[in-house]
Structures are given as C-alpha cells and as structure tokens.
Amino acid sequence: MKYARTVAALLLSTLVLACVFRDQLTPVGYDHQDRNIPNAFRSRQHLLGTDALGRDRLARVLEGTRVSLVLAPSAAAISTVLAILIAGTAALAGGWVERLTASGIDLFLSLPWLFLLVTVRALLPLNVSPMTSAVITFSVLGCLGWAGAARLLSAQLSWLRSRDFILLARASGCGGFRLLRRHLLPNLMPLVYAQFWISIPTFILAEANLGILGLGVSEPLPSWGSLLRELDSFSVFGWNLWQLVPLALLIAVVSCFHLLISKGEIAA
Amino acid sequence: MTPLLALNLSASYGGKSPVLSGLSLEIGRGEILGLVGESGCGKSTLALAILRLLPVKNAYVEGSIEFNGRDLMLLSEGEMRRVRGKEIGLVLQSPMSALNPALRVGAQLEEAWRVHQRGTKDARKRDLVSALANARLPHAEEFFRRYPAQLSVGQAQRVLIAMAMLHHPALLICDEPTSSLDLVTQSDIVELFRELKTKLATSILFISHDLLSVANLCQRIAVMKDGAIVECRSTKDLFFDPQHPYTQQLLRALPAVPRFAAKAAAANS
Amino acid sequence: MKTTASFLLLWISTLLTGASLSAQSANELRFSIHSFPKTFDPVLVDDDASETIRYLTGGVLIRINRESQRLEPELATGWKLSRDGRTITFTLRDGLRFSDGTGFGVADVAYTMNHLMDADLHSPTGDAFRVGEGKIAVKVLTANQVAITFPAAVVGLERLFDQVAIMSQSSPRKEMAVLGPYMVDEAKPGAVIVLKRNPNYWKVDSAGHHLPYISAIRLDVQPNRDLELIRFLRGEIHFINSLDAEYFEKVKAENPAAARNAGTSLDSEQMWFNQVPTAPLPAYKKIWFGSKSFRRAVSEAINRNDLARVVFRGHAQPAIGPFSPANQFWFNTALRPHPYDPTSARARLAAEGFYWRDGALYDSSGNRVEFSVVTNAGNRYREQMATLIQQDLSDVGIKLNVVTLDFPSLIERITRSFNYEACLLGLVNVDLDPNSEMNVWLSSAENHQWNPRQTSPATDWEADIDRLMRAQASSLDDRRRKQLFDQVQAIVWDQEPFLYLVNKDALAAIRPELHNVQPVVFRPQVYWNIEWLTLNAVVATRQ
C-alpha cells in the first residue's frame, strides 16, 4: 500500500512538472493548427500524434491536464468552503433553520445536476475568453457541488455541537461564527480535508462529462473532457491508439488521488 | 446587602413535565453555596439555566435571574454573551470532554481570553500566566503546547478552572467539578476552590451529589429534589437539625466517620 | 459517458448478433432505419422512417427522378396544367391493381385527394397544397381522366405529387392496399419491419420480368449509428443511406469499393451575424454586423477549402449560396465560389476605418473586434469548423469566441431573445424548389434568421429579395422563375447575410452484393430506384 502511494505521488508530481515545463516538451502550442497533418500518427515532432485539426496531441494533453489540475482543486475548495458555511450556519442557528437547510440539501442532491449545470452555463455571457470559460465552468461546478459535503459536515457538526466542550465555549461567552471558526472547525478539519480531496477527482470527472457533451471548456483550450471526446468514435474502427492517452491519464490521476486520500484518512 | 444572585425559575424540555418548578435560590457576595441532590433532579439544568444556555438544548425557561442588580432573563443574546465567562464562569463535571480535543491548552486559554479582552500579546500572556498560577498549574511553554489528551484528569480540571477564572467572574458555577476525580485529586481541587474564594472573593455555586465535599467547602447548603429547593440552611444547621425528610434521608445515608469530619468542618466555619 | 455506453452496446450487440444470424432468404435486402415509423398512413407521414415506408410501398401519379431531377409519369401516363395554374388534369394508366387485388381508377385518385385535403387530418403532405381560402374540387372527366382544381394557383404543383401515395377507395384495409413495389408483410413495433414484393406491381423490365427484382426488404430499427456501421461492415446490412465523413473514411479503409460518394449534396453549413435591431448587443457591434464590407471581409478571411478538407476529410465542397450545384435546375451557375483572400479582407476592413494595433483589429471608434459564435453542442463537425474559423479570423486580427450551447438554449437565443452575435448551423435541404425557401428569404418570415419577422424590409437589398421571391412565386413559367431566383442568389452572394461555408457530400456505404445502385444526393439516396436493384445470389455471411 505504501509502495502504491509513493508511486501515486511520484506520478502526480511528474505530471505537474510536465505541465509546468510543457513549452520545453512540445514543439508547438496547444492551439497551433497544422492543417496539413490532421489525425497524424505519432512521430518525432508529435510524440502523441495530432488531433483532427492537426494540433499536437501531447501539447493539448499537457495543457488540458494543467487546466484540470489547477481548476479542479479550486472548484473543490469553493464547494468545500460553501459546504462549511452552509452546514455551519445551519448548525449554529439550529431549530427550523437547520431543518430547512437539511431538506434544502436533500432537495439539491436530488436535482438533476447535469441538467442544472447545462442550464446555468447557457445563461452565462457569450463573449468570454476560453480561459475565463474554463474558470467559469469549474466555478459553476464548485458552486453546485457543495451539497454532498454539506450533508456529511452537517451530521458531524450536529454531533460536535452536543459535546461538552462546545457547551463550555458557549458558557465562556463564545458564539456565532467565532464558535464555528475557533471551536467547531478545528474538530471538523479532518473531515473537511477528506471531502476536499475526494471532490477533486469528482470535479475532474464532472468537467469531463460536460466536455463529452461539448459543454465544457471552450475551444481552443483543451481539457480532459474535450480530449476524451475524441474517443466518441472510438467504437468504430481504425482508431489511433494515442487517442487513449487522455483517458489513461484521467484514470491514473483519479486513482492517484484516491490512493493519496485513503492515506489521508488513515492519518486523520 | 442585596444577594449577588437571586433567582426564581421554571424550566421544561420540549413540553414535557417541568425539570425546574418555581425554583428559588439566593447566593450572597463572596459566598460558597452548595447545591446537593440526587442525580437527575435538575442540578445541571439549573447551572445552564443561570447562563441561559438551555435554549441550545431545546428547553423552555421562565422566571427571573437577578444578578448583580439586573435580570439576566431580560438581556439580549449579545449582552448575555458578555456575561458568560466574564461575569459568570462555569466548570463542568468531566474535564476531558469539556476541553476541545483539537486545540492546544494555550490556544484554548487564549481563545477564552480573546472573547472578552482585547490587548497586547504581553497583556494576554500576563493574564494567562496568572490564571494558571491561580489554578496551581505550571505555566511553561511546553505546557501551553500540549493537547488535552496529553493532560492528566486533575490537570485538565485545573485548566478548566483557570479558564473559568480567567476574567475574575463574580460568580463561578461548578457542576459536579470533583465527581470524576480520584479521592486525592478531589481534595486538591476542593482546596483550590477554597483558596480562590479567599484570594479572589468569588462567589461559588458548588453543585454536587456528594454531600461531604459540599459540607467541606460551603457555608450554606441547598437541598434540591424534583426541580425545587426543599431546604436551604447553613451547613451547621443542616447537619444538626435537618427539617425536610429528604435531607434527613441524605444525612442518614452518610457513613459514620465522615459525619465527624462534617461536624468539624461546620464548627470551623 | 456516451463513449462508454456505446462501447457497452458494441459488445452486447456482438454477442447478440453473433447468435441471431440465421439463414436468411437469399433475395432479401436488409438495411437500418433509425426509428420505428410513426405511421403507415401515407397521408400522415411526418418522419424519416414513415417516409421510407411510403417511398417503398406507395404508388404516386408523378415521380421526381432522383437522378435527372425531372418529372416522370408513374400511375399517370400524362398530365396537363391549366393556364391559371389552378387545375391539373391527370390521365391514368389502365388496368392497374392494388396489392390486395382491387382495381385502380379515377375514384381512387379522387378519394386520395379529398382525404389528403381533409382539414381535420392536418396532413403534413396536404399542407404543401394548401393555398388561399376554399376547398379543392376533384372532377372525374372520363374513365381514366381526372381534374383537380385548387382555390388558387399552386406554384410547382406537379412536383408535390411525388409525395402523394394513392390510396384505395374500395379496399377495407386502406394502409395495406398499395400501388408501390412493396407491401408490408410484418411489423414488430420498435424492432423490425419486413416488406415483401407487391405481386400486382405494374412495372416490367424490357425482358418482360415483373419488377421489383428483390423479393423482400428487411428494415431493422437501429438508432445507434455506430452499431449500424458495424453491422454493415460485417455484412449484416446491405447499405447505409447517409454517412458522415468520419464513418465514410472508416468504410473506405475497410472496403474501398463499398464507400460511395454521390457528390455534393443539397445540405449546407452556414454562419450568420445577428442583425436584429432590438438585439441586446452593443451599438458598435450592430454596426459591424450590419456592414456589408465587414461581412464580406469575414467571409474572405475564412478558408472554406480547409473546412472541407480538414473537417470533412475532403468530403464536402466550399459552399456558394442557398442552393448547391447539386440542384441542377435552380443553382445559379454564374456564381463563383467565395474567395479565400485575407489580403482583400484586410483591405475591405481598412476601407471601413478599421485599424490594427499589435496585430489586433479595432474599429474606427477604437473597439477591439471580438465576437462570439454559437453553435449546438455535440456536433463535432460544427465545433471543428468554428475552431478553424477562429484561427482564420485571428490571422486578420479578429478574436472569435466559440460557444457551444445545448439545442434548446441555442434556439431560444436565435429565435426569441436574440442574445447572440453570430451563429453557425446547418440547413437540411429536402426540396429542390425555391418556393420551399419563402420562409427564409422573405424579410417578414420566421426563418429569416439574421433578422426575422420584420414589419418592413430593413435594407434595400432585403426589399429586393422580397420583391423577387414574391415575383417568382406568382409566376408559373419556370424559366422566368429561374431568372428571378438567380437574381436572389446573386444578391445573397454579394450581401452575405448568410456566410455559406460548405456543402457536404452525400456519402453512402453500399455492399458489393447490391447491384444497379446509383446513389444520388438526395432522399432516398441509395434506394430511389429500388425496383431495379438486384442482389447476388450469394448472401453475405458472417465473416
């Protein structure tokens, strides 16, 4: 197990390094179209071949990885903070507010989130740069993805709230968000960390799903979702094996995260 | 002279039969009042009711709590927060669960200080050191950095007492502060309370099911049964001339030897 | 998700079809339809699958020859159109019988027409005939002559009869009594339809053999295109009527002879700018989009050859106008392809006061030229075209943002809120006659996409188009109509309210066992001459 975690950590850090030094690794930018060699097989110039528009696949995979690896944790952070605030407010207020929040969370979880996401995305302004659209997509994911974490945190908070030390903190004159921040949160942190790490791969996959539908990050910026769309026609014949690289990477990264999380949970 | 605290309270949890039914009690300034009664008679409820923390436990309270010339029942939640910890301190029964397991000793004390005080790091340090000294605890850096799990039960209880006494409250409510401690530690803690009272002129409401330690410490004892005070007299009177059948029953239950001790204690005061 | 699902389906189907391949009758044609027909009533046809059944089973008075695009007599040996264009007189073929044995005559034509025009039925086919107020009158002249009079002149009337399958007046089972080459033998809802040869079909070949040659047709309902392709490659179906470029390439790689390109189709892909005056856009963008020079410059900056070559793997042609050259009669042959000429594009922009700073284009008021193009999500070809155009436009300093939207949101934006700047969509052309495009070209029309439902024409050229379109619609002289519509095409070429991008090729996959096939560019591409198709005696077996 420990060996696997080391490998996972190594793999992730190699990937991060490759993303940082992507300009050195690839001859052309991710959006450079060489229209004379679309769908090329691997060559010395293009280590993973080119996509349908003649763009270097390696450059696109690295750029897409960078986008996903930077933005997915940010989305995870947004959703975790939202979950803390919502669950925390409910726990502090107690009574009908807490009951209302609990049913609100249940309602939110039962919503067809993909549909919701598509609707929200359709309402966004059209004239945004691809990078902004990527940020918006992940922010929307983050803003919509808090409910699961909130439910877990709520349960933990309502248990914590009945503990003596919280009673004592109240008896010392502590209340409101101070109580949440200074007394509840430190006890919540292990769970919060776990939620954060777990939601990173979730958001990567969510964006990939959106991308497969063509509703993810906009062209020419790649993301794992849009890279995976290449596999749409994979079931038919004559595919290029190197098209599988993004899928392999996605599976590898998500598994790495899960390995590292399981470690985190044991430590907590 | 008006008493520090005079209350008349009724309380019930979620519409069930009342836990406190028209309970009246007075505590004088600088007085240690013992409150005894069997488990489940509403002693802890009373402690929380004085601090107006019962709504947290979904309880309904009515009546009046005259404290230092005003009725706490009429204060807003914000004003009440300034009373808690600052004017009235609380010590709970089980020290290990009353300390926040995720915070170091130093952080907990600092936090308790910050709730009511603003000031420089030095001022804070000075207050914390003196509070620890009052509770006869070491005030070394190493001690500040410990987590509650790294303390002995006695140390933990002293930390809680130091925290409760940090702002020199006029009233200290101790809810069974010794019942989870071994005998030696128990007597240490009782001794500490006596010292605090003398040194800081704090009034103490000492709640316990243990008549002996109460008698050891308090001038006056109130006996509680079924949510009301059945008898409240000086320790001597209570021991020599118990009026209420329940008090008599309590006294009969005491072992023989400690009765002498109790009498001796009563004679001393 | 979709990918995984199709993987799964693929494997499951491999398992199932492997087992279900039983001995099939030697002379049975098999192909896939993408959904089960909604109706077998030829009058109510409104979907592709129902249209397929109608084409294969229905007998019509006049047929449009899909290859020559000319009218040919079928059940009618001749027809005559009155001067006022309101009355058509048919002379019927003698001695024909419906598949159930009942005789065919003028009464059946009268019955069909009255049924078709029954207002309560809301027949989509009948709608094409509905002009002006009032009812049609069907008059039986002789035993084999019948005259149909409409309340007003119907432009292109004869062509409409290609859609009217004649029903039997006397047969109790109307839908089962047919005059076409095939009749329904078996239909399992949702799964399969089997057609068998109509024993009473009237056509014979020169040697006197009764047509059709193929004795049965098996239509499997297969909504998944991947599976359809796999079944084709395994020889389980004989042809795929319409393929996209990528699948076509795959067929070609496996079996070069099976990949058949019928040439440029009538379908076009186009882009247009929002010219709605009330659209929630900045005023300066409305000025750009309303400027002919700007539209022409953008058009000249787009490399249409690359779109055809890269996105469609060469199976498309740069588009010229509303009708592709495939529409032999109506296409304006005087029009040249739109040039790819970034230099000219820059000159046009410079002449309008646009200028460049650090390679980026600004208008005369100093606004950076940036706009978004919306297209429907999930259509890879459109997304790729948009991405190539994005690059082309950046070469002349224009920043293009590509936005993919789900279809309902896209439609909402382009038809109601008008909150978009440019849109890239395709148009499927099913009709050869410009009359079918009245709802696009009239400025008051619903589908006048760049600025629909105008109360009066916003520009002179739109007023000209209105005038020309109305004039051609009221003329019965095809030559005259052609002249008028040529002018419309020329104005559209010059003004470019639509930037026509490419016309896709009509691509089909046909197994070598199937003979006499002459795929054409419009429906039904492969089997338009169904009665003449033959199959090798050797039926494809599983490889």
Tell me the per-residue pLDDT of B88-127, one tens digit each, with 9 for 90 and over. Answer: 999 888 888 888 888 888 888 888 888 888 888 888 888 8
C540 versus C226: which is more confidently predicted? Answer: C226
The answer to whether the bond into A186 is cis (omega within 30° of 0) is no
Partners of residue B100 in chain A, C-beta under 8 Å? 165, 169, 183, 186-187
More confident residue, B10 or C17: B10
pLDDT attached to residue B258: 55
**β-pair type (C216-221, C422-427):** unpaired
Measure CA C451 to chain center.
Answer: 24
Residue C477 has pLDDT above 70, yes or no: yes
What six digits make up the tokens of C311? 């996105």
Q: Identify which of C3, C229, C421 has the shortest CB distance to residue A234.
A: C3
Going by pLDDT thresholds of 50, 70 and 90, the confidence category of residue C339 is very high
Amino acid at site C314: G
What would the pLDDT profile of C84-129 be if each residue is shown by its tens digit? 888 999 999 998 999 988 889 999 999 999 998 888 888 888 888 8
Average pLDDT over residues B40-44: 81
Q: Which of A73-77, A120-124, B99-103, C482-486 has the lowest mean pLDDT?
A: A120-124
Beta bridge partners of residue B69, listed in sequence order: none
Q: What is the pLDDT of residue A79?
A: 92
Distance CA A125, CA A122 (A): 8
Report pLDDT for C389: 95
pLDDT of residue A38: 81
* Neighbors of chain A with 3 or more C-beta pairs under 8 Å: B, C
CB count, 10 Å around CB of B164? Answer: 27
Contact assessment for residue A186 and residue A157, using Cβ atoms and an 8 Å cutoff: no
**With pLDDT > 90 as the criterion, what percentage of chain C qualifies?**
58
Q: Does the CB of B85 have a partner CB in chain A at under 8 Å?
A: yes
The pTM (predicted TM-score) of the whole model is: 0.74
Question: Using 50, 70 and 90 to split pLDDT, how confident is the model at C278?
Answer: very high
CA distance B144 to chain A (A): 17
A202/chain B closest Cα distance in angstroms: 29
- SS3 call for C183: strand
- Which residue of A171, A178, A186 is in closest CB contact with B100? A186
The pLDDT of residue C369: 95
Contact criterion met (CB below 8 Å) for C446 and C437:
no
Tens of pLDDT, residue by residue over C286-300, are 999 999 999 999 999
**Residue A267 pLDDT more than 50?**
no
Of C1, C306, C421, the CB nearest to A212: C1
What pLDDT shows up at residue A266?
Answer: 45
Structure tokens at B102: 């995720």
**ipTM > 0.90?**
no
- What does the CA dihedral C193, C197, C202, C206 come to, rounded to 10 degrees? 130
Paired tokens of C154: 């119907």
Question: Average pLDDT for residues C372-379, to the nearest whole number?
Answer: 88
**How far is residue A13 from each of residues A6, A7, A17, A247, measured CA to CA in Å?**
11, 10, 6, 18
Secondary structure of chain B in HEC code, one letter for each residue: CCCCEEEEEEEEECCCCCCEEEEEEEECCCCEEEEECCCCCCHHHHHHHHCCCHHHHCEEEEEEEEECCEEHHHCCHHHHHHHECCCEEEECCCHHHHCCCCCCHHHHHHHHHHHHCCCCHHHHHHHHHHHHHHCCCCCCHHHHCCCHHHCCHHHHHHHHHHHHHCCCCCEEEEECCCCCCCHHHHHHHHHHHHHHHHHHCCEEEEEECCHHHHHHHCCEEEEEECCEEEEEEEHHHHHHCCCCHHHHHHHHCCCHHHHHHHHHHHHHC
Q: Tell me whether B83 touches chain A (CB under 8 Å).
A: yes
Is C307 exposed, middle or buried, given 0-12, 13-18 or 19+ CB atoms closer than 10 A?
Answer: buried
Q: Which domains does chain C have, with CATH numbers?
A: 25-58+180-238+511-543 (3.40.190.10), 59-169 (3.90.76.10), 264-504 (3.10.105.10)
Judge residue C463's burial from the number of C-beta atoms within 10 Å of its C-beta, 0-12 exposed, 13-18 middle, 19 or more buried. Answer: middle
Q: Which residues of A touch B53 (CB under 8 A)?
A: 167, 170-171
On whether the CB atoms of residues C151 and C132 are closer than 8 A, the answer is: yes
Write out pLDDT tens, residues C505-525.
Answer: 999 999 998 999 999 988 888
| Contacts with C246 (C-beta within 8 Å, 6 or more apart), sequence order | A233, A236, C313
Statement: residue B162 has pLDDT above 80: yes
Side-chain-side CA neighbours of residue A193 (13 Å): 13
What pLDDT sits at residue C192?
Answer: 93
Cis peptide bond N-terminal to C524, omega within 30: yes
Angle at Cα A231 formed by Cα A228 and Cα A237, nearest 5°?
A: 165
* A142 vs A123: which has the higher pLDDT: A142
Contact (Cβ atoms closer than 8 angstroms) between residue B184 and residue B153: no
pLDDT recorded at residue A48: 79
- Tokens, residue A96: 């009908």
Looking at residue C279, what is its pLDDT? 92
pLDDT of residue A57: 84
Structure tokens that stand for C353 in this block: 């006061």
Maximum Cα–Cα distance across chain C: 81
One-letter amino acid at C456 equals S
Q: Is the pLDDT of residue A242 over 80?
A: no
Alpha-carbon distance of C202 to C321, in angstroms, equals: 41
Over chain A, what HEC string results? Answer: CHHHHHHHHHHHHHHHHHHHCHHHHCCCCCCCCCCCCCCCCCCCCCCCCECCCCCEHHHHHHHHHHHHHHHHHHHHHHHHHHHHHHHHHHHHHCHHHHHHHHHHHHHHHHCCHHHHHHHHHHCCCCCCCHHHHHHHHHHHHHHHCCHHHHHHHHHHHHHHHCCHHHHHHHHCCCCHHHHHHHHHHHHHHHHHHHHHHHHHHHHHHHHHHHHHCCCCCCCCCCCHHHHHHHHHHCCCCCCCHHHHHHHHHHHHHHHHHHHHHHHHHHHC
C91 - beta bridge partners?
A: C78, C145
Cβ–Cβ of A172/B85 closer than 8 Å?
Answer: yes
Share of chain C above pLDDT 70, in %: 94
Neighbours of A159 (CB within 10 A): 11
pLDDT at B263: 60
The A-side interface with B (CB below 8 A) comprises: 94, 163-165, 167-175, 178, 182-183, 186-187, 189
Which range is least confidently modeled, B44-58, B83-97, C43-57? B44-58
Write down the pLDDT at residue C4.
39
Using the 8-state DSSP alphabet, how is residue C44 labeled? G
Q: Which residue has the tokens 């199976």?
A: C315
Residue C2 and residue C4: Cα distance in Å, rounded?
A: 6
- Return the minimum-mean-pLDDT range out of A67-71, A84-88, A230-234, C237-241: A230-234
Partnered with residue C197 across adjacent β-strands are C182
Average pLDDT over residues C195-201: 93
pLDDT tens, A1-54?
Answer: 678 788 888 888 888 888 888 777 777 888 888 888 887 777 877 877 788 888
Q: Taking the CA atoms of chain C, what radius of gyration do you get in angstroms?
A: 26
- Asked whether C229 and C200 are in contact (CB, 8 A), the reply is no
> For C146-189, how does the pLDDT look when each residue is reduced to its tens digit (9 = 90+)?
999 998 888 778 888 998 999 998 887 777 889 999 999 999 99
Rounded mean pLDDT, C201-211: 89
Which tens digit of pLDDT belongs to each residue from C440-456? 899 988 889 999 999 99
Residue C110 near residue C58 (C-beta atoms within 8 A): no
What is the residue-averaged pLDDT of chain C?
87
Tokens of A189: 């942190």
Check residue B251 and give its pLDDT.
Answer: 86
Q: Which amino acid would we find at residue A4?
A: A
Nearest chain C alpha carbon to A232? C3
What is the set of domains in chain A, with CATH numbers? 2-262 (1.10.3720.10)
Across the range B52-63, mean pLDDT stands at: 81
User: Is there a contact between B52 and B64 (Cβ–Cβ < 8 Å)?
Assistant: no
Q: What is the pLDDT of residue A214?
A: 66
What's the confidence (pLDDT) of residue C509?
94
- Element holding C476 (H helix, E strand): none
Q: How far is residue A134's CA from residue A203's CA, in Å, rounded to a whole number?
A: 12
Calpha distance A84→A78 (Å, rounded): 10
Confidence of residue C362 (pLDDT cuts 50, 70, 90): very high
The single-letter code of the amino acid at C461 is W
Which residues in chain B (110-129) have CB-CB distances under 8 A to chain A? 111-112, 115-116
Q: Which residue has the tokens 């939207």?
A: C405
DSSP state, C314? T
Q: How many CB atoms sit inside 10 A of residue C112's CB?
A: 22
Taking the C-alpha atoms of residue C473 and residue C485, their distance in angstroms, rounded to an integer, is 10
Q: Using 50, 70 and 90 to split pLDDT, how confident is the model at C475?
A: confident
In the prediction, which pLDDT does B256 show? 60
Q: CB-based contact (8 Å) between C421 and chain A?
A: yes
Nearest chain A residue (CA) to C379: A214
B190 with B216: CB under 8 angstroms? yes
**Per-residue pLDDT, A185:** 83
Supply the pLDDT for residue C537: 55
Percent of the residues in chain A that have a pLDDT greater than 90, as a whole number = 3
pLDDT in tens, C482-499: 999 999 999 999 999 999
- Tell me: pLDDT of C7 over 50: no
B100, B118, B174: best mutation site toward chain A, by most A Cβ within 10 Å? B100
Give whichever of A38-42, A57-61, B258-262, C337-341 has the largest mean pLDDT.
C337-341
| Segment B222-263, tens digit of pLDDT | 998 888 888 898 888 888 888 889 888 888 887 765 555 556
- Which of the pair, A48 or C257, is modelled with greater confidence? C257
Rounded mean pLDDT, C471-479:
85
Report pLDDT for C16.
42
Distance from CA of A234 to the nearest CA of C (A): 8
C28: three-class secondary structure by DSSP: strand
Q: Are B25 and B6 in contact (CB under 8 A)?
A: yes
Contact A214 C247 (CB under 8 A): no
